[in-house]
Structure 1
Amino acid sequence: MKNLILTAALLFVSTITFAQTAFEKAMTEKIAKVEDHKTPDEFTALANDFDRIGTKEANNWLPYYYAAFATIQKGRILMRSGDKSGLDTAADEADKYIAKAEALSPNNAELFILKKMTSGLRMMADPMSRYMSEAPIAQQALAKAQELDPNNPRITVLQAEDAYFTPEQFGGSKEKGIELFKKAIEQFNAYKSKTFLDPKWGKAEAEYFLSQK
């Protein structure tokens, strides 16, 4: 009888381990594609993939985080190409994923970082009329992220971007941005993620801007 119980227990543990390994494998493969994808359609498909993983792994916030991040990346590509027509839709879609992730992981700095980015997409859809409404929302989200995780390098990367692209008469400059990108690199070198699936993006962007000096 004891042998039967032990066998059943081992089978149960093996099943759980396999499920975890399958989840980690799927996430690792999809996260790698975030760096490779170049088109809005590719990022839409990737966000859908993460959403499906999240449906299967019901208690984990990370699939929805990456679904939101992929959607934001889609918006950034549209913005760089000069196509502002899809920015509001991308921001709305990303916010839905963020809400799903936040339900599983409240008071998470990484999610407030994404909220800052979605607000930025909305602002860039119509900067002249939305700056006064969206800029405070973006800054409040980033301030909350900093309160929760003050040494998170992705916060500094977004601060560096803001400074780099803000004219001197409005308090920014390329020099201020560069200093913040340097700070971000220092933080990346010291920052320890909770798991190997946790967000790690941002260092390559900081290195790119520093290489443009």
Structure 2
Amino acid sequence: MKKYLLTFALSLISLTAFAQTDYEKVMSDKIAKIENCKSLDEFQTLANDFDRIGKKETKEWLPAYYAAFVYIQKGRMLMRDGKMSELSAQANIAEKYLDQAESIAGKDNAEIHLLRKMSYSLKMMENPTERYMTDGMKAMEELRKAESLDPGNPRIALIKAEDTYFTPEQFGGSKTKGMEQFKDALAKFTTYSPKSKIAPNWGKAEAEYFINGAAK
């Protein structure tokens, strides 16, 4: 009987390990596609994929996190295309997924706070003059929370560099200072180790893009 129970326990462990490996492989494949998305439709398809994974893996926070990240990236693409009136809609969907991720991971998660910052910034950009004191302030507070939880996180340094670089000088921004912050972010990427193979690890390519672009 003891031998049977031991065999059953080992089999259960093996099945659990296999399921986890399968989950990580599917997630890795989807995560790898994010940087290669070239259209709104591609972002939407990927967001739907993460949503389906999250509904299956109900104890994992990363599917909802990446769904939120994809909607934020979709919003950024809309912003680059000048479709400012559509930013809040994408941010609102992202926040729904961030709520899901936080319900699993807890409130002390720097990566989730950083995405909340990016989401509030999207909302602010829909009408900066009217929304700076509301969504803009919320974005700054989320950034402070993220940095207090994980001060060495290169993605936090990257987003701070973006804010400095793109903010007009009359409002405290500076392209020169922003470029120095991009370099600082890139230096942090070289020493920062993600917590797992599928943990957030985005941003290095963006820092390199700005630094290499400025050098030309």
Query: How would you bin the TM-score normalised by the shorter chain?
Result: over 0.9
Q: So what's the TM-score if we normalise by structure 1? A: 0.96
Letter in 2 for 1:102: E
Q: Is 1:139 aligned with 2:144?
A: no
Matches within 5 A, 1:1-213: 1-106=1-106, 107-213=108-214
Per-residue deviation at 1:142? 0.2
Counterpart-to-counterpart distance in 2, 1:197 and 1:68: 15
Question: Any idea what the Cα deviations from partners look like across 1:112-136, whole Å, max 9, x if unmatched?
Answer: 1001100111011112221222211
Counterpart-to-counterpart distance in 1, 2:191 and 2:130: 40
Per-residue deviation at 1:168? 1.8
Q: Secondary structure at the match of 1:85?
A: helix
Q: Secondary structure at the match of 1:198?
A: coil
Letter in 1 for 2:102: E
Per-residue deviation at 1:8? 1.5
Counterpart-to-counterpart distance in 1, 2:70 and 2:45: 9
Stretch moving more, 101-110 or 41-50: 41-50
Letter in 1 for 2:206: E
Q: So what's the TM-score if we normalise by structure 2? A: 0.95
Q: Secondary structure at the match of 1:116?
A: helix
Q: Secondary structure at the match of 1:52?
A: helix
Stretch moving more, 77-86 or 137-146: 77-86
Q: Secondary structure at the match of 1:212?
A: helix
Letter in 2 for 1:211: N
Per-residue deviation at 1:191? 1.1
Letter in 2 for 1:87: L
Per-residue deviation at 1:5? 2.3
Unaligned stretches of 5+ in structure 2?
Answer: none
Counterpart-to-counterpart distance in 2, 1:79 and 1:128: 16
Letter in 1 for 2:158: V
Per-residue deviation at 1:37? 1.1
Aligned residues between the structures: 213
Q: Secondary structure at the match of 2:84?
A: coil
Unaligned stretches of 5+ in structure 1?
Answer: none
Q: Secondary structure at the match of 2:52?
A: helix
Q: Secondary structure at the match of 2:82?
A: coil
Counterpart-to-counterpart distance in 2, 1:79 and 1:91: 12
Question: Any idea what the Cα deviations from partners look like across 1:85-121, whole Å, max 9, x if unmatched?
Answer: 3211100000000000001112100001001100111
Identity of aligned residues (%): 54
Per-residue deviation at 1:212? 1.9
Question: Any idea what the Cα deviations from partners look like across 1:26-48, whole Å, max 9, x if unmatched?
Answer: 10011011111111122122112
Question: Any idea what the Cα deviations from partners look like across 1:64-95, whole Å, max 9, x if unmatched?
Answer: 10000011011011111111232111000000
Per-residue deviation at 1:4? 2.3
